[in-house]
Amino acid sequence: MTAWTTLVSAEDLAAALGREDLIVIDTRTSLTDRAASENAYRQSHIPGARYADLDRDLSDHRKTSGGRHPWPDAADFTATLGRWGVTPQHQVVVYDAADGALAASRLWFLLRVLGHRRVAVLDGGWQRWSALGLPADAGIPAPQATHYQASFDARRLLDAQDVRALLDSGGLLIDARAGERFRGEVEPLDRVAGHVPGASHRAYSANLADGRFKSPQTLASEFAPLLGGREPAQVAAMCGSGVTACHHLLAMAHAGFDGAALYTGSWSGWIEDSQRPIATGEG
């Protein structure tokens, strides 16, 4: 049976509904109205899908540092997986409203860095699924709890000190935010505008064409010059809070460059220390 490890089409997922080894998770997120996303899930979702809340399930707001969406501890995240009925043997498919940036790619990376390989993002998300008229219902599943035991690969989760070391050693830090935020022209979410000195810019939207991910070949041709011969282990992605940056990690894996890291705190974590330098402009 084919394992999906990066992306899966709506057509392929629809054909697989009902498989005993399949678990679907809805991560639709609104940054302006948190309740709206879960309400939308309760009204209609892919049959059998569980719901993952970005703040409750994919972050740890008990932490007082680490950016706007602090990375959860492995014990807490695996407990959440257990409540959803996920085991290491399951094929997991995650989706959000559209392009994977809020917050399907975040959950994809959480699982991948936990060592779970059979996890994929629904390409085009709920938007394409609905446009195709594929099955949906409002039933809320009651999964049988499981025990999921695993730990994160710490090498792929960087803090500010790790980022400085990465850049000092010639590594690459890719900022996934929109260009105007990277350049420091506007900052709608964080108290300071700009970017980490030495970071490079590629907006996560560059991974998409018509709302879906570009082909592996196209993504490889675009990322290769940016990587400049570096191995994925010499590369990290960041954004505003460690969510949309995971879109780059997914796109790179889909293009054959699997193994890059995430700056978990990202820009909102970087500016927690006023002594850290800030750059503006193109970089």
Q: Residue 32 corresponds to which amino acid?
A: T
Give Rg (Cα) of the chain.
18
Determine the Cα–Cα distance for residues 5 and 135; give it in Å rounded to an integer: 23
- Give catalytic status of residue 239 as yes or no: yes
Whether the CB-CB separation of 160 and 276 falls below 8 Å is answered with yes
Strands 50-51 and 22-26, by their bridges, are parallel
Which residues make Cβ contacts (< 8 Å) with residue 143, sequence separation at least 6?
23, 50, 83, 84, 85
Please tell me the number of Cα atoms within 13 Å of 35 on its side-chain side: 0
Catalytic residue among 13, 114, 160, 239: 239
* Residues labelled catalytic: 239
